[in-house]
Amino acid sequence: MKTESLDLILDESPAQPTGEGDHHAAAMPDDGLLIVPMRNVVLFPGMILPLTLGREQSIFAAQQALKLERPVGILLQREPEIDRPGPDDLYGFGTVANILRYLTLPDDTHVIVCQGVQRFRVIEYLPGYACPVVRFAGIDDLKVANNEITARFIRLKERALQVLQLEPQASLEVSSAVKGISSPGALADLIAGFLEIGPNEKQAVLEAVDLVPRLDLVLDYLLRRLEVLKLSREIDERTKASLDERQRHFLLLEQLKSIQKELGEDDEGSSAELAELHKAIAEAQMPEEVARHAGKELKRLERMPDGSAEYSMIRAYIDCLIELPWKPPEADRIDIGEARRMLDADHFGLEQVKKRIIEFLAVRKLNPEGHGPILCFVGPPGVGKTSLGQSIAKALGRKFVRTSLGGVHDEAEIRGHRRTYIGALPGNILQVIRKAGSRGCVLMLDEIDKLGSGIQGDPSAALLEVLDPEQNNSFRDNYLALPYDLSSVLFITTANVLDNIPGPLADRMEIIHLPGYTQEEKLEIARRYLVGRQIAQNGLKAGQFEITDAALVAIIRDYTREAGVRSLERLIGAVCRRAAVNIAEGGAAAVLVDERDLAPILGPSKFDNEVALRTGMPGVATGLAWTPVGGDILFIESGRTPGDGKLTLTGQLGDVMKESAQAALTLMKTRASSLGIDSAELEKCNVHIHVPAGAIPKDGPSAGVAMFISLASLFVDRAVRSDTAMTGEISLRGLVLPVGGIKEKVLAAMRAGIRRVLLPERNRRDLEDVPAEAREKLEFVFIENVDDAMANAMETRLAGTP
Ligand SMILES: Nc1ncnc2c1ncn2[C@@H]1O[C@H](COP(=O)(O)OP(=O)(O)OP(=O)(O)O)[C@@H](O)[C@H]1O
């Protein structure tokens, strides 16, 4: 919007010569009007405007008008670009204006200050003049006042005042002029003059001679302008509101800082803390990318108020970056002789395992950069998997850390949560490495066979990346969000059950089996390691406590049934504690524990010689089972009741075991005559097979032989030998098929006091893995079919068998 008085309106481009020589104005008729054409200015009656003249024609017209003391006619050009507009190039409606002043500025610019007097319409152009001269008809507003006009007048005034309030550059004079005006036509002209609208729109107002259309037109322009102004005001306010919010935040932060200062948590403290972090980052020997990232986070931290939640999140992250070991680990110093001595000193037996570990260390010594295999110790609990891992770490001079994967079913437990989550942490792997404080540590991943898989991603996939030497030099933890080099970590895994290890993981590892110990081995382990350790742990001194071999054997035989030595160690600990109480009470200077003393300390024996108790009657056979904790014996009991040949199976048997029982029954029926059983009698009874303990689920085909023998024993009415246990799958044709877990089963048989074991012929070669002690103590009978089994299992030989 313009105000009418301030600007010089530059209308014209530089003057053009007319080329018509000396001009004369003498023949100018009385009703002739000299025209000053305007490129884009419309002058309304009543309005005073300075107009700059550039074209010679215009200067001539103005000067002639002054000379003749005449007004000029201001006409708008249709096209502003035209330099010498003819009649057709000018609108036919304009304003008669008096020239109030004529100025020639020092730079030779000609300016006339004009006041609009009245509208005029061009009647005709008069030829022969150096500038356009017209005959014209002046038009004044009619002095009519009707309701239509008055209503529009009032409304226009209101709206105009409203616009002027919003208009940023509106001057007070314009407002007071609007307020003071009483003529509707003059008001419309005034408003059209100051409104920011184009020259053609203004021309339209000028041409609206009748008041009603003129008032409507101006009102329309005014309302449009009002809309625009309101909108821009709204935008302004919105921007201002957001600025205010930021200002408020800033102010609050400042206040918080001053409160912290009052409370003593001032900047000095925090800047000392920040300086410490700077130093710690510099000293952490981070790779360049990590150091840059840490620096950036530190900068963010500096800008945070101390107490905010985000501050503590960033702080925890920076701490994590600082505490993670980044510097390259020292080279391993491997002394094979020393390593062998260490392994022997810490572990009894386990010759094969130790041999393999020594080979592993030797290869590492010769090729430290090579990607050796990942060892996986598989065996029941308490057989020394963890302590072997510790010995390897000791031999390499590395730190030993472990983490359990049992029950991990969320990928994030391995790989961490993104920092966007509240309370996010790095995954297990980085947490233990942080604890170890060195990238060159031995990291034992326990219970890899208990890895779950849930809806939250597959942890075994993340683990694959951890263990894969091709990928693990840039392992990405979600929390860290930076690559971390795991390639110098020595991973060892442990599992109880080989079959439960996810296939792709098992493929990448070298499996080392630890089947469990014999009674003799346990005795040796107890004597050499466990007793000494428990004496020390319970505050006793050498010479204050002694336990006889007989007592140790009794603990092994009557109080524990395990493949490892964990319970054994715990019970030795219990015996030591009782001795400690005795000595502390002053009752004795030293304590010697014999077999007889065990019952008062440990209670009555937990495992009697069940085999003798439970067998010895027709219908019961002793089977051998493999379990994750190292093999066990189980009893197969058969009974008969009058009926019609139905088979009942109880004892939580799995499907495969049920089928195996059915096969045993069918096989017995087909062999009834050769076994001397009356087939008709078989049809007249129901058979029930039960496998205690009833609450423990059991499955697998390997109890087939024992089931057949149990049934046969029932129907031929002869007891099975109580010193004999058996394992093997049967086919319907009576063949005995090989089974797995022979080593564990044989050890379990020995633990249970069995003397003879019937094994499938095709398992003969597995006997090589069985500890020598078991091979010496037990008698092994290899059977090819159920007839062999019958011949060797029964108390007394059947008539007709060899
Ligand atoms: N051959 C052995 N010689 C000496 N001590 C042994 C031997 N085997 C096991 N031990 C001892 O038995 C205890 C249990 O062993 P460890 O914790 O290594 O078992 P594990 O196989 O790792 O069991 P889990 O699978 O439950 O973790 C330890 O104190 C260990 O020193």
Q: What is the CATH number of the domain that holds 568?
A: 1.10.8.60
Name the closest-CA residue to atom 11, ligand 1.
Answer: 384
More confident residue, 456 or 434: 434
- Is 71's pLDDT higher than 60? yes
Closest residue to atom 30 of ligand 1, CA basis: 384
ipTM confidence: 0.96
Q: Is the pLDDT of residue 498 over 50?
A: yes
What is the pLDDT, as a whole number, of residue 195? Answer: 85
Asked whether residue 218 is domain-assigned, the answer is no
Give pLDDT, residue 395: 84
Q: Is 379 labelled as part of a ligand binding site?
A: yes
Q: Which residues, in sequence order, are CB contacts of 618 under 8 Å at separation 6+?
A: 713, 714, 716, 717, 718, 719
Choose which residue among 355, 383, 442 to substitute to test ligand 1 binding: the one with the highest number of ligand atoms within 8 A of its C-beta: 383
Q: What is the pLDDT of residues 301-326, one digit of tens each?
A: 887 777 677 888 888 899 999 999 98
Q: How far is the CA of 566 from the centre of ligand 1 (A)?
A: 7
Among 492, 513, 534, give the residue marking a domain's end: 513
406 is in an annotated binding site: no
684 is in an annotated binding site: no
Query: Is residue 187, in this structure, part of any structural domain at all?
Result: no
Q: Do 699 and 761 lie in a common domain? A: yes
Same domain, 386 and 454: yes
Q: Which of 91, 128, 113 is nearest to 47 (CA)?
A: 113
Give 133's strand partners.
Answer: 34, 126
> What number of other Cβ atoms are within 10 A of residue 96's Cβ?
22
2-6, 307-311, 455-459, range with the lowest pLDDT: 2-6
- Decide if 638 is catalytic: no
Question: Are both 557 and 524 inside the same structural domain?
Answer: yes
The rounded Å distance from CA 375 to ligand 1 centre is 17
pLDDT tens profile 634-661: 889 999 999 888 899 988 888 888 899 9
The pTM of the full predicted model, rounded to 2 decimals, is 0.57
Give the Cα separation of 414 and 427 in Å (integer): 5
Q: Which residue has the higher pLDDT, 653 or 628?
A: 653
pLDDT band at 706 (very low <50, low <70, confident <90, very high): very high
Distance CA 714, CA 788 (A): 18
Q: At 361, is the secondary structure helix, strand, or coil? A: helix
Give me the mean pLDDT over the 1-7 stretch.
33
CATH number at residue 487: 3.40.50.300
Is the pLDDT reported for residue 93 higher than 90? yes
Residue 169 reports pLDDT greater than 80: no
Q: Of residues 145 and 114, which shows the higher confidence score?
A: 114
Burial of 367 (0-12, 13-18, 19+ CB in 10 A): exposed
pLDDT beyond 50 at 800: no
In a domain, 154, yes or no: no
Q: Are residues 623 and 643 in the same domain?
A: yes
Closest CA to 513 of 594, 631, 428: 631
Confidence of residue 31 (pLDDT cuts 50, 70, 90): confident
pLDDT at 560: 84
* Mean pLDDT taken over the chain: 84
Q: Please name the amino acid found at residue 242.
A: S
User: Closest residue (by CA) to atom 10 of ligand 1?
Assistant: 384
* Catalytic choice (270, 391, 460, 702): 702
In ligand 1, the atom with minimum distance to the C-alpha of 521 is 1
Count CA atoms closer than 13 A to 720's CA, side-chain side.
37
- Mean pLDDT score, 713-731: 90
CA distances from 570 to 286, 539, 608, 735 (A): 45, 15, 20, 45
Residue among 324, 329, 332 nearest 437 (CA): 324
Helices and strands (DSSP H and E) totals, the chain: 29, 25
- Judge whether 206 lies within some domain: no
Looking at residue 617, its amino acid is M
Domain boundary among 488, 513, 538: 513
Q: How far is the CA of 346 from the centre of ligand 1 (A)?
A: 10
Kindly tell me if the per-residue pLDDT of 220 is higher than 80: yes
C-beta atoms surrounding 160 within 10 Å: 28
CA of 371 to the centre of ligand 1 (A): 27
- The residue range of the domain holding 349 is 336-513
Of the two residues 165 and 65, the one the predictor is more confident about is 65
In 594-670, where does DSSP find H-type helix?
A: 598-602, 610-614, 655-670
Q: Can you give the CATH number for the domain in which 96 is found?
A: 2.30.130.40
Does the residue 278 lie in any domain? no
Residues 6+ positions from 329 with CB-CB distance below 8 Å = 398, 438, 439, 440, 488
Q: How confident is the model at residue 115 (pLDDT cuts 50, 70, 90)?
A: very high
Asked whether residue 529 falls in the same domain as residue 595, the answer is: yes
Distance in angstroms (rounded) separating the CA atoms of residues 784 and 802: 15
pLDDT at 697: 64
Q: What is the CATH number of the domain that holds 667?
A: 3.30.230.10
DSSP state at residue 332: P
Cis (ω within 30 of 0) for the bond into 137? no
Q: Tell me, in angstroms, the distance from the centre of ligand 1 to residue 517's CA.
A: 11
Identify which has the larger pLDDT, 337 or 518.
337
For residue 523, give every residue at least 6 positions away whose Cβ sits within 8 Å of its Cβ, in sequence order, or none: 549, 552, 553, 556
Residue bearing the bigger pLDDT, 603 or 14: 603
Cα angle for residues 558, 637, 555 (degrees, 5° grid) = 5
Looking at the fold, whether 476 and 505 belong to one and the same domain comes out as: yes
Identity of the highest mean pLDDT range in 156-165, 238-247, 447-456: 156-165
Last residue of a domain, one of 513, 534, 561: 513
| pLDDT tens by residue, 467-477 | 888 888 888 89
Residue 156's Cβ-count burial label (10 Å; 0-12, 13-18, 19+) is buried
Q: Is the pLDDT of residue 557 over 70?
A: yes
Task: Write the CA distances from 76 to 12, 199, 611, integer angstroms.
Answer: 12, 8, 126
Tell me which of 350, 375, 387 to substitute to probe ligand 1's pocket, judged by most ligand atoms within 8 Å of the beta carbon. Answer: 387
Which run of H or E residues covers position 650?
Answer: strand 647-650
Q: Is 380 annotated as a binding residue?
A: yes
Per residue in 172-207, pLDDT (tens digit) is 777 888 888 888 999 999 999 888 888 999 999 999
Ligand 1 lining (C-beta closer than 6 Å): 347-350, 381-387, 446, 494, 525, 529, 564-566, 569
**Which atom in ligand 1 lies closest to the alpha carbon of residue 565?**
12
Residues 406 and 342 in one domain: yes
**Do 726 and 614 share a structural domain?**
yes
> In whole angstroms, what is the distance from residue 42 CA to residue 507 CA?
93
Do residues 515 and 379 lie in contact, with contact meaning Cβ atoms separated by under 8 Å? yes
477-481, 606-610, 628-632, 791-795: least confidently modelled range? 606-610
Query: Residue 222 domain-assigned?
Result: no
pLDDT digits (tens, 9 = 90+) for 261-307: 676 655 555 667 788 888 888 888 888 888 898 989 888 888 777 76
Q: Are residues 681 and 697 in the same domain?
A: yes
Average pLDDT over residues 390-404: 88
Residue 3 has pLDDT above 60, yes or no: no
Q: In this predicted structure, what is the pLDDT of residue 695? A: 57
371-375, 406-410, 511-515, 797-801: range with lowest mean pLDDT: 797-801
Which of helix, strand or coil describes residue 336?
A: helix
Burial of 116 (0-12, 13-18, 19+ CB in 10 A): buried
Reading the block at residue 425, the tokens are: 């942490």
Residue 414 lies in a domain: yes
Number of domains into which the chain is organized:
4
- The confidence score (pLDDT) of residue 34 equals 93
Closest CA to 500 of 631, 632, 416, 405: 405
Residues 504 and 362 both lie in one domain:
yes
Tell me, yes or no, whether 760 and 728 share the same domain.
yes
- The rounded percent of the chain whose pLDDT value lies above 70 is 91
498 located within any domain: yes
User: Residue 629 — very low, low, confident or very high, per pLDDT cuts 50/70/90?
Assistant: low
Residue 58 annotated as catalytic: no
Mean pLDDT of 433-443: 89
Q: Which pLDDT does position 19 carry in this prediction?
A: 39
**Angle, vertex CA 58, rays to CA 100 and CA 32, nearest 5:** 75
How is 364-380 classified by DSSP, letter by letter? HHH-TTS-PPEEEEE-S
| ∠ CA 313-316-319, rounded to 5° | 150
Give yes or no: residues 445 and 547 share one domain: no
